[in-house]
Amino acid sequence: MFPVAYTLLLKEAILAHIKENYEIDEPVSFEYFLRGMNDTYVLVTEQAKYIFRVYRADRRNNSEIAFELDLLNYLSMKGVCVSIPIRKKDGTFINEFFVPEGVKCGVMFSFAEGNEKPIHAIEDSYLFGKAVGQIHNVTDNFNSEHIRGNLDLEHLIENPLNTIRLHMEHRQADYDFLYEIAMGLKEQLSKHLEEGLDWGVCHGDLHGNTNVAFTDDGKLTHYDFDICGYGWRAYDIAEFRLAREIHSRHDKDEVDKLWEAFLNGYRDIRYISENDLKVVPIFVALRQLWLFGLCFSESELIGKADFDNGFIDSKMDYFRNLDLSFSHNV
C-alpha cells in the first residue's frame, strides 16, 4: 500500500459503524459537512440531529481527545450550554478507525441548536462576553487525567515560526523581519508575565463566528473545543477582538463598541485585571502569527495554490504595519 498523508473515510462505512455502535433512531440522512482541522459530518435521525467528527491522525491522539470530552462533560455538568459527546452502546465515547496513516478517532456530539451569525450587534457581543466569562469561571476547578498541550510560547511563537521558515526560504529577508517582530512580541509579553496573567483552561478559538450557536431567546451553545488547552485567558479573548477587527474590515469605531460590550459581559461574570487587558494586543498579533503557521501547515494537505506569494504578502503587510508600542487604549 502506497504511503498517504490523509484519508477521507467512506461516508457509508461511517454510517454503518454508527448504526452498529450507537443507540439512535433510524437515520434519515448522513452528510459530509465540512473539512477543516478535522472532518465533520451531520447525522439526522427521525428524532434528533447529531454531529460526527473524525479527527486527523497526525493532529490529535486519544488522550488529547479524551481531555476535550472530559472538559465538555464538565462544562455541561456545571450548567454551561455546550455540545456534548454521545456515548456508544459500550459506554465509551471514542471510536478508532485504522487507516493507512495511522489511527483516526471519531466522536459523536449533540447538535448545537440555533444559528451561527456574525457578531455585529452590541447585544450579541455582550452575550458572548458573558458566556466566555462563564467558561473561564467554571473551568478554574477543572481537572482531567488526560494530557493536553499548553497554549504557551512554544505553541504561539516557536512552532509557528518553525513552520513558516520552511515555507519562506525563498524570502529570507521577509522571514528575518517576521522573526524580529516575533521576538519583539515575546519581549513585550515577558514584561506582563512578570506581573502575572490569568492562566487556565482556554477554548482556544473564541472568534464567535462558527463555534457558537445563538437561539432567538438569547441562548448560546458553544461547540468545537478542538483547540482547547491550558493557556493565558487574555489570549483566549484576544481571538474575539482579532475576529472583530477582521470582520469589520478594521473599522475602529465598530471594533471598539463590540469590544467594550464583550468586556462588559465578561466582567459581569468574571474579574479581569488591567494587566490582562494591556496584553491583549500582543496576543492579537501572536494569534495572527499562529494562524500564519497554521495556514502553511494546512497547505501540506490542501495544496499551496492558496498560500503563494500573494498570501505571504498579505500576512507580511499586517506585521509591517504592526504597532509594537501597544500604547493605544484597549
Instruction: Spell out the per-residue pLDDT of the chain, length 330, in tens.
Output: 788 889 999 999 999 999 999 999 999 999 999 988 899 999 999 999 999 999 999 889 999 999 999 999 999 999 999 999 999 999 999 999 999 999 999 999 999 988 888 888 999 999 999 999 999 999 999 999 999 999 999 999 999 999 999 999 999 999 999 999 999 999 999 999 999 999 999 999 999 888 899 988 888 999 999 999 999 999 999 999 999 999 887 889 999 999 999 999 999 999 999 999 999 999 999 999 999 999 998 877 778 888 899 999 999 999 999 987 654 444
The pLDDT of residue 326: 59
- Give the span between the Cα atoms of 205 and 250, in whole angstroms: 20
CATH 3.40.50.300 fits 122-320, yes or no: no
**Residue 27 near residue 45 (C-beta atoms within 8 A):** yes
Q: Which residue has the cell 456574525?
A: 118
Q: 3-state DSSP helix/strand/coil percent for the chain, to nearest 5?
A: 50, 15, 35
Q: Is 151 exposed, middle or buried (CB count within 10 Å of its CB: 0-12, 13-18, 19+)?
A: buried
- Give the span between the Cα atoms of 102 and 7, in whole angstroms: 10
The pLDDT of residue 103: 94
How far CA 211 is from CA of 114, 204, 207, in Å, comes to 11, 11, 8
- Give the span between the Cα atoms of 230 and 268, in whole angstroms: 23
Enter the C-alpha cell of residue 63: 488522550
Domain 11-110, what architecture? 2-Layer Sandwich (3.30)
Dihedral angle, C-alpha 129, 277, 242, 284, nearest 10 °:
-140
- Which residues, 6 or more positions from 328, have their beta carbon under 8 angstroms from its beta carbon? 281
* Beta bridge mates, 79: none
- Give the span between the Cα atoms of 279 and 197, in whole angstroms: 9
The pLDDT of residue 327: 42
The pLDDT of residue 1: 79
Annotated domain spans of the chain: 11-110, 122-320
